[in-house]
Structure 1
Amino acid sequence: MTTHYIGRFAPSPSGPLHAGSLAAAMASYLDARTHGGRWLLRIEDIDEARTVAGAAQDIETALHTLGMRWDGPVLVQSHRRQHYRDACDKLGDHVYPCGCTRKEIADSRLGVAADGAAIYPGTCRNGLAPGKTAGALRVRVPDPGQEMEQIGFMDRWLGWQSQHLASEVGDFVLKRADGFWAYQLAVVVDDAEQGVTHIVRGADLLDSTARQIYLQHLLGYPTPTYLHVPLVRHTDGEKLSKQNGAQALDLAHPLHELHKAAAFLGLEMKTATDVAAFWEQALPAWRRRLEGLRAGSP
């Protein structure tokens, strides 16, 4: 048990919690509590175009109904634009303006990244072409042979992971052409300023981790420990998400939802009689799950 553990759950308020978000929340909550640490709640509404009115409050209400209590005040990204601006300024020459449209990037891309985005070919790296207007801001990834060219880390669930930023991602966006700060920068700044030591989240964000470690390096921030839990999927194999019609949790039956999430995470538990009893059982079940992962069990 550690005396210095800070974890967090950071949902986007684009709709209510669903089975996939509950699995990630449960894993992060249990990991913090089994380590005697703090568990923070952050509302990641930096992409204001996707924010649904009232969703943040609905998420907080859902977590309370499910018996999950966070420590300290809720951090809201849309209130922190100046922090992201300051961090971007600190990056100096590592950042450059980009005037490429989506079509131009798609037409000249070097390939497709694991998250489905086009790998940026570096068109504006050496300055904007005549007639081009700056839109997005991008960060330069290392050239071949430079430090941090290949970024590796040990994931506590998935094992060793690595990514070559230049060939697998390309120079990535820090500020979008529509003026919103990008997720990659915001999450790195927030984690550092909140003192987050352990990040437990869904495997859909695994591909973002190398980019975030690179930004941590450039900004002089410590790198947290990572654990990416498997994704809850539709029957057709597609990731369960708000964008593809994931059903909201049935909060009239919170114990049922909790047991489903626990089963998905592979927690061996008896059926609890109430929410408080569920969490009493879930803590040692999570410890056993971690022991199994360390021993090589899937």
Structure 2
Amino acid sequence: MRVEDLDMDRVRAADGVEARQLADLRALGLLWDGAPVRQSERLDAYRDAVASLPTYECFCTRREIAEAASAPHDGYRAYAGTCRDLTDAQRDARRAERAPAIRVDARGARFTVLDEHAGEVTGVVDDFVLVRGDGQFAYNLAAVVDDVDAGVTHITRGADLLSSAPRQAWLTSRLGGVPATYAHIGLVTNARGERLAKRDGAVTMRDLGGYPADVLAALSDSLGLGPCRSTEEALAAMPGDQRFFSGVRFDGAALAQEPATASTISTT
């Protein structure tokens, strides 16, 4: 279990958000080995990883990056390498104006990953950010360092992150790890069929009435396994071959007002 808390502010941390999330997972029967690993406690590992890579300082603003980059792909704008070849004098001048981000110098590398849905996916590795201008380690760095240290072999996540896989797998190999096998699956959407987001409101186990078996039954039913009321039952219902869903529509408001059913969480 990894707690990705680099962006968690002190107010939320003190409010017990992590404890409630872990309690909800346990209530659903989703357990893990050992104590949770918190990214906020692994900063030295991230520093060591950055020190082992070819990097350069970047002073570009988001607007400058958007103007210099090609059209965004899945919402991501590849960096054009604007600051890669700055002179020492130019860096000194810009450093006086703003704190730099640290980018990896990938030199236009290309990398191929294996995805259970899409097959082989090859992408160009742009010079992505390792350390933000505020000194915070970037997700692309921290997640990969953690995956390498944990020996992660399979990654299942949303289809919107497929284009990031070659970039992260390349970094995995540069850090001495073996790239994982991926399965990018359909996103969870709201009642209107739009990507589920924070604006749709936070839905916790308590918001849903506090009945883990009902919630688990709805989740498993949305995957075509039937309304399983325990993780053991859901595992037994899984087919022998690997099967992935294309997406799930989630109506949190309806689910909070009635017992969890397939009518409030459904496969799309």
TM-score (norm 2): 0.79
State how far apart, in whole Å, the 1-side matches of 2:29 and 2:48 are: 37
Q: Residue 156 of structure 2 contacts residue 183 of structure 2 at CA under 8 Å; is this kept in 1? A: yes
1:192 corresponds to which residue? 148
Q: Which has the higher contact order (CA 8 A, sep 6+)?
A: 1
2:50 corresponds to which residue? 88
Q: 1:104 and 2:55 equivalent?
A: no
Out of 258, 274, 283, the residue aligned to residue 235 of structure 2 is 283
Q: CA deviation at 1:109?
A: 2.0
Out of 257, 263, 267, the residue aligned to residue 224 of structure 2 is 267
1:42 corresponds to which residue? 2
Q: CA deviation at 1:172?
A: 0.7
Q: Where do residues 133-172 of structure 1 align in structure 2 (5 Å cutoff)?
A: 133=95, 134-143=99-108, 148-149=109-110, 151-156=111-116, 158-165=117-124, 170-172=126-128
Q: CA deviation at 1:113?
A: 2.6
- Going from structure 1 to structure 2, the CA distance change for 1:126 and 1:83 (only over 3 Å counts) comes to same
- Going from structure 1 to structure 2, the CA distance change for 1:205 and 1:285 (only over 3 Å counts) comes to farther
Q: CA deviation at 1:208?
A: 2.1
Fraction of identical pairs, as percent: 38
Q: Residue 267 of structure 1 contacts residue 282 of structure 1 at CA under 8 Å; is this kept in 2? A: no
Q: CA deviation at 1:81?
A: 0.6
Q: Residue 240 of structure 1 contacts residue 246 of structure 1 at CA under 8 Å; is this kept in 2? A: no
Secondary structure at the counterpart of residue 199 of structure 1: strand
State how far apart, in whole Å, the 1-side matches of 2:127 and 2:103 are: 6
2:19 corresponds to which residue? 57
Q: CA deviation at 1:132?
A: 1.2
Secondary structure at the counterpart of residue 248 of structure 1: coil
State how far apart, in whole Å, the 2-side matches of 1:251 and 1:234 are: 19
Equivalent position amino acid for 1:79 in 2: E
Q: Residue 138 of structure 1 contacts residue 175 of structure 1 at CA under 8 Å; is this kept in 2? A: yes
> Which whole-Å deviations, capped at 9, do the CAs of 1:116-166 have from their partners, x for residues lacking one?
1322111101126362125101112343xxxx42x222222x231424325
State how far apart, in whole Å, the 1-side matches of 2:170 and 2:182 are: 14
Q: CA deviation at 1:252?
A: 1.2
Structure showing greater radius of gyration is 2
- Going from structure 1 to structure 2, the CA distance change for 1:180 and 1:251 (only over 3 Å counts) comes to farther
Q: CA deviation at 1:259?
A: 1.8
Q: 1:122 and 2:81 equivalent?
A: yes
Q: CA deviation at 1:288?
A: 3.9
> Which whole-Å deviations, capped at 9, do the CAs of 1:192-216 have from their partners, x for residues lacking one?
1112222222333323211110101
1:203 corresponds to which residue? 159
Unaligned 5+ runs, structure 1: 1-40
Q: Residue 190 of structure 2 contacts residue 200 of structure 2 at CA under 8 Å; is this kept in 1? A: no
Equivalent position amino acid for 2:26 in 1: H
Cα RMSD of the aligned pairs, angstroms, is 2.5
- Going from structure 1 to structure 2, the CA distance change for 1:101 and 1:163 (only over 3 Å counts) comes to same
> Which whole-Å deviations, capped at 9, do the CAs of 1:215-254 have from their partners, x for residues lacking one?
0121121112222232110133332133542433425121
Q: CA deviation at 1:291?
A: 5.8
2:214 corresponds to which residue? 256
Q: CA deviation at 1:110?
A: 2.2
> Which whole-Å deviations, capped at 9, do the CAs of 1:37-69 have from their partners, x for residues lacking one?
xxxx10001223598222111111101111121
State how far apart, in whole Å, the 2-side matches of 1:291 and 1:204 are: 19
Secondary structure at the counterpart of residue 152 of structure 1: strand
